[in-house]
Amino acid sequence: MGDLQSELQNWYAATQAYEQALAAAEDLYQACTLLDSQAGELKATADLPRRAAYAYAKTGQLAKALETIERGRARGLSERLQRDRADLAQLQQQRPDLFDRYRDITNQLQNLESLQREQQVRDRQALTPEQHRNKAQKLRQDLTEAIAQIRQVPGYETFLQAPSLTEIQQNLSTEAPTIYLIPTPNGSLALIATPQAIDPLWLDAFPEATLTDLVQTWLQADRESKVANYEYSKDPESLAKTQTRNEKREQWHNMIDQGTRQLWDNLMAPLIDRLKQHNHTQAILIPTGLLGLLPLHAAWTPDPSRPTGRRYALDELTFTYAPNAQSLVAARAIAQRFPDSHLDSILAIDNPRQDLPSSEREVMAAVKTFPHPTILRHEKATTATVAANLGQQAIVHFSCHGTANFFDPLNSGLLMNDDLLTLRELFNLKLTEGDKPGIRLAILSACETGLPGLDLADEAIGLPVGLLQAGVAGAIASLWAVNEQSTMILLTKFYDLWRNDHLTPPIALRQAQQWLRSATPSEIRQLTGIGLRGAEHPFAHPYYWAGFSYTGI
């Protein structure tokens, strides 16, 4: 009914219908005891928070719109961050018995969820064993009772309740606005949120249908390029396969050009204009729906005054990304444990499959400014060894292959010497448990490490979010299969700007991308020692640099 009223633009009637639908969806979700059933409910109502938030904003209920979209975005991540990283120091002093009970229940739930993820990975269609269901139901009941008791303790009256508008705004960054980008069939909406205000920006010239068409064409071009490259790798002497690979690669590069151009006029340009009116130089993007698959920072417009003839969104502001505002609270707490003076250690994973010629050069550039580096190279970089070492250093750098599984994102991962280090395993790392401080920054120099799954796009289930849940404050990851040589050069420049020029990691990444796209062969040689021939700006095309983005703090 809400969708029908929205089509008719009867916004007040739409909000009433959506409010009932949201309440019913919440009841069904709360009745779920297992991850697979929760995912099923979220999938059934995937676009409901976006449509409802849009309707609330149309009726001037901006606070309601913000609450709705924040609660509906990356919900699984938020709930587990709240549950597993709640500040219970005061409770431990006042009610140690209740503290111990709560910790015991949540530890059992974490272990059970790990078993459920393993079951999902083994057989995506399989039902969770009955004993798991019974145990989960009992633990959920115990947790509900424990939470009710904790709320009786002074200072914990709102423990684990859904965040109110006041709490959401209090947790927003004071340095940069947080922007929820919300596509719907009626058009798109940007909610520009700061601790003081919510500013709506209507983007009705960019409806969801436009986005869907763009993403479908984008993914098809990417997929066809991968298939052609795979066929070529099996028979590199074949002229026909070589020609097909080159044609499909050119089509994919053209699609990146065309797609990022489409993102400018009706989406990013109006947003940038609004942000610059308020003198913002940085912004945190929370792209909802299918927008999370696209490099919004690489939207562009022609500009003859620029070296490459284009002006990109990242030329105007520094953009970072986040799954939701709640995740940044946990990320900020981890980042605060790592002042610059404590960033002296790094774990580097170097070319586990021994098929990346530029990997060693990249890793040496990464570790050279850290007094205490640990390098796991080639056959030493096994899944078990890497997992055991994660969390012992402030920074982790992966130079390896990666893969994104759109329809089974728990099987996305990073390819080690023996096997895939999967998202499922990253979820289970618990890098902040006990005395562990977490990880300040993870650099994923691998293909498609930033892509979320398609089935539950608004849950943002992907490697960056998996790392945030595990205990990483910030992550640099890619949206597509990146070029090995340009990635090495990009990240060499990133480390130079971050470690030697003392820029923040997001600003260092942005400036490294700007530098790479306009760099000449002589400038590249001066930085890396690599000699290149050909174009004046060999890596100007966004394929070479725009795939990387910064998630978190």
Does residue 434 come out as left (phi exceeding 0), alpha (psi in the -120 to 50 range) or beta?
left
Give dist(CA 320, CA 182) in Å, integer.
Answer: 17
The distance in angstroms from the start CA to the end CA of the chain is 40
28-45 pLDDT tens trace: 766 666 666 666 666 666
AA identity, residue 406 = F
444-460 burial, b at 16+ Cβ within 10 Å, e below that, comes to bbbbbbbbbbbebbbbb
Q: What fold characterizes domain 336-552?
A: Rossmann fold (3.40.50)
Predicted local distance difference test score (pLDDT) of residue 126: 46
Record the pTM. 0.88
pLDDT cut 70: percent of the chain above it: 88
Mean pLDDT of the chain: 87
Predicted local distance difference test score (pLDDT) of residue 498: 96
Predicted local distance difference test score (pLDDT) of residue 349: 96
Predicted local distance difference test score (pLDDT) of residue 50: 94
Q: What is the DSSP letter of 380?
A: G
Comparison of pLDDT for 113 and 127, the residue scoring more: 113
Q: What is the DSSP letter of 545?
A: T
DSSP H helical ranges for 152-206: 165-170
350-407 pLDDT tens trace: 999 998 999 999 999 999 999 999 999 999 999 999 999 998 999 999 999 888 766 6
160-201 pLDDT tens trace: 777 788 888 888 888 899 999 999 999 999 999 999 999 999
Q: Across residues 109-124, what is the average pLDDT?
A: 64
3-state secondary structure of 305: coil
Contact in structure between 66 and 180 (CB atoms under 8 Å): yes
Q: Is residue 159's pLDDT more than 60? A: yes
147-158 pLDDT tens trace: 889 889 888 888
Give dist(CA 513, CA 379) in Å, integer.
Answer: 32
Least confident range from 245-254, 282-291, 331-340, 509-518: namely: 331-340
Predicted local distance difference test score (pLDDT) of residue 133: 74
Shortest CA distance to 490 belongs to which of 403, 398, 404, 366?
366
